[in-house]
Structure 1
């Protein structure tokens, strides 16, 4: 693929030979002489001089011996070209003879159902959607078009999945929310969960992530949300569009996340908490109260990063301060003794 053809696909301008042939895309460290790579931040420019890449996406033209494509978003352009050279491979359309379908299932065109797929009655699967081996759909599920569901994923009854969604292996969508009350003897009595899960378009959900059905109404994952592996989303939560949730994070029931939130790994959000738009939680943040304002927060309980930066130096000095207090107490005791 010539560089001028790459320009036609992703835009930008070339500084160098537009006829140069590109055979692949890779990172700075791994790119070969016929690969294209990218540099999105100036701090990585020293690595570029060591790279064997034949061409590079950059934000601004720089002094290097390599052919450059100047692009306002080098990372995005690179991602698009990487996908062009490495499209997602899926099995050929068709229904495997070992797939188990109820008589009332509706299939779109060019659907792929692999071995040991099970689809419950009154479920609908859209065009060009792929279900890998061992996927289970309960009754009355709805799956959009161009969606990929990887092996051993389970969708409980009435789950709704949009278009261009990716569910990775082992994810469980629509299991009962964790909700109990106690009887007069202190025994836990289950509260039936009669809602469902709705996942909108262009969502990706990582392996072994669980999203619980709502007690009533819907648990909703909005358009463009990206969820990592091993995340727990409780019943009746709503995750705002284009938010990112990183591995080992837990959302308790009835949380509301705004648009473009980032929740870093091992964070926890208490039940009925609401986050505004463009809120970022650092790793291992604990949130117990609403955060209406955008910004970056950390610690437990969560506080703004500017407050945390003032707080941390004092916290780190606590052992020293404690020793100083003990010494002052010792001296005062010595003075007060007759």
Structure 2
């Protein structure tokens, strides 16, 4: 079968032929129809991810049909839960936790074998490509926005980096909760796109004084952020007293300093968030089905065009999820 793996070649990601997985016991063999890219796939490509094991099939998000396995799953259209060994504590992942696609073989292959407890039925209102875009980004956004951010009716939520896959889901879940939603982006075009989706306003973070404009709306109950870096102090200037700053990434690195005085005086909560538990994955899907939420798909690439898909991700030009169709 064809699969995208990480190698030690000059171009680290390669489309190769490997053996089709053989299942045993109650395992399921899923024929993948579509898989989506995540930032971690590009980080692995760049050698910036811990514990890289060469030869591993990349990919955390996938949709397909169960071709072999227990009778109750055979022939079902499914999505794959990318969690591996979250553990028993709903508050935090276990020390053995990892995400499908490194070091465990992932979804960027024609077939994947998984235990049945990693599968959930594909939401019926989604295409295969939309469903493939859902698992990792949807779960990350749901935990950060709803479970930790506390988004609900009457709350004002700021989602940073409006073009990213997780950010798009954070916006969608915040809408579904009844919250008033604002965004930041470095692209005026992306801000205009999300405003057409119902976002109240957007702020261009390339403007050094963006937070002054943002502060005029009256402060935010929650800020959902993947950037980190020196913007943290700007967030502390516009968060409401006792508000929540939820950070699920650090694409701009560590802050040079933190305005600790503003932090303790505002009684703000700075919260970390990573993926989510298996129970939250189920709850996330309930929201997807109840509110008929559809992922924003930026572009669909054929498998043989995988390098262009990765390069588009690297360039950060995308708006929503990049999907590879099998």
Which structure would you say has the larger Rg?
Answer: 1
Classify the TM-score, shorter chain.
Answer: under 0.3
**Higher RCO, Cα 8 Å, sep 6+:** 2
Q: Which has the higher helix share?
A: 2
